[in-house]
Amino acid sequence: MKLPDIQSLTAALSAIQRAKGSPHGRVDVLERRPNEYNSSFPTEKITIRTDNGNVLRLFCKYGHGFTKSGHGHRGGVPYEALVYRHVLQPVEDMAALFYGSYVDDESGETWLVLLDLDKSVRVSKAEHGPGIGAASRWLGHFHTMSGLLAVQGDVAFLNDYDAGYYRGWADRTLEYSARLHDRFPWLPILCRRFEEFASSLAMIQKTIIHGEFTGRNVLVAGGSVYPVDWESAAVGFGEIDLACLTEGWPAELVRRCEHEYNMSRWPSGSCPGFEWRMAAAKLYLQFRWLGDRVDWTLHKNVAWRFNEMRSAAEQLGLL
């Protein structure tokens, strides 16, 4: 994955600095170093000095060679940049995190630039610490705030989880799992019933969701929560994000997260039907992963997902 040369990088960061109101906008790149985490895109960490002498540490993500994933679930770096501009600006910590974006004239690729979160920890690495509760509370607050934005804001560009979207995952799961139907004879039945169930999912009250709010995509730094990788943001029902966050965790910890989420989103008491929506979110989540790529569907390490799928389906009365 090729990174931009120093001249192109300096010009791009200078353009962003001018767009932020700096009169001259000249920046000097002091250091470039690799990102320690794996990413689907070329990324790096950069230290710059601005024209007023401030030294900033930045995280740069380059939209190199992106092709949209199955069923349009992920939108890539250009889409993520729009999310930061139009969805996350009212969220105080997230607005401060966004440094800017730039479209390279030569390649047409979008570069996303964020402030680097020094000494941040992924929630997945700290599931027994206070970050778990903080992430659940942050999520509940975000869904409350973004519910109105989903209806009234300038977010028409966001993917909308309608019935057709949900049906697509069932169709692909049925196709990709053909070799497993003898092992899971209930699966074709569930796929057909889920296609009918999709209309019910599309009717659940919507908000703006992250789409892949897993512990790997949620950072905690200095007592604040910073979800990252917003290329799957969409308009859907909020419990999908909570199901992503708590997937695979012990039951006691899941209950704690659900409680924290409920208290943050509905302080006067849990919303009726919450347990049903959580089961629906967990069922969708299994279709989402099993219907993404055939090699994932057939991999021996994801057999547990079929068990989770059946459990959620039975809870919903679909099996």
| pLDDT score recorded for residue 1 | 59
Confidence of residue 195 (pLDDT cuts 50, 70, 90): very high
Gap between the Cα atoms of 107 and 1, Å rounded: 14
| pLDDT score recorded for residue 223 | 82
User: Quick one: tokens of 4?
Assistant: 């931009």
Gap between the Cα atoms of 7 and 29, Å rounded: 10
**CB atoms inside a 10 Å sphere around CB 47:** 15
Gap between the Cα atoms of 60 and 154, Å rounded: 25
**Amino acid present at 57:** R
Neighbouring C-alpha atoms within 13 Å toward the C-beta of 19: 12
* Strands 159-160, 234-236: pairing kind: parallel
Q: Is the pLDDT of residue 119 over 60?
A: yes
pLDDT tens sequence across 234-244? 999 999 999 99
Report phi then psi at 77, rounded to 5: -65, -40
- Three-class SS string for 192-229? HHHHHHHHHHHHCCCEEECCCCCHHHEEEECCEEEECC
| pLDDT score recorded for residue 63 | 86
Q: Is the pLDDT of residue 165 over 90?
A: yes
Mean pLDDT of 144-170: 89
Gap between the Cα atoms of 291 and 147, Å rounded: 28
Q: Is the pLDDT of residue 196 over 90?
A: yes
Cα 123 to the center of its chain, rounded Å: 14
Gap between the Cα atoms of 318 and 305, Å rounded: 17
Confidence of residue 126 (pLDDT cuts 50, 70, 90): low
pLDDT above 90 as % of the chain:
72
pLDDT tens sequence across 100-118? 999 998 888 999 999 998 8
Could you give the 3-state DSSP secondary structure of residue 88?
coil
Confidence of residue 22 (pLDDT cuts 50, 70, 90): confident
Instruction: Note the pTM of the prediction, 2 decimals.
Output: 0.93
Q: Is the pLDDT of residue 23 over 90?
A: no
pLDDT tens sequence across 251-273? 999 999 999 999 999 998 778 89
pLDDT tens sequence across 242-253? 999 999 989 999
Domain boundaries, the chain: 6-115, 121-315
Gap between the Cα atoms of 13 and 48, Å rounded: 9
The answer to whether the beta carbons of residues 84 and 112 sit under 8 Å apart is yes
Confidence of residue 65 (pLDDT cuts 50, 70, 90): low
Q: Is the pLDDT of residue 300 over 70?
A: yes
| pLDDT score recorded for residue 127 | 57
DSSP 292: T
Superfamily of domain 121-315: Aminoglycoside phosphotransferase (APH), C-terminal lobe (3.90.1200.10)
User: Quick one: tokens of 171?
Assistant: 């169709």
pLDDT tens sequence across 31-40? 999 987 777 7
- Edge to edge, the sheet with strand 224-227 lists 121-122, 218-221, 224-227
**Amino acid present at 185:** P
User: Quick one: tokens of 277?
Assistant: 């929506």
Judged by average pLDDT, the poorest of 78-82, 94-98, 120-124, 205-209 is 120-124
Burial class (CB in 10 A: 0-12, 13-18, 19+), 254: middle
Q: Is the pLDDT of residue 297 over 90?
A: yes
Judged by average pLDDT, the poorest of 25-34, 147-156, 267-276 is 147-156
Alpha helical stretches, state H, the chain: 6-19, 76-86, 92-97, 131-152, 163-176, 187-203, 239-246, 251-265, 274-290, 294-298, 303-315
Nearest to 43 by CA among 117, 105, 113, 103: 113
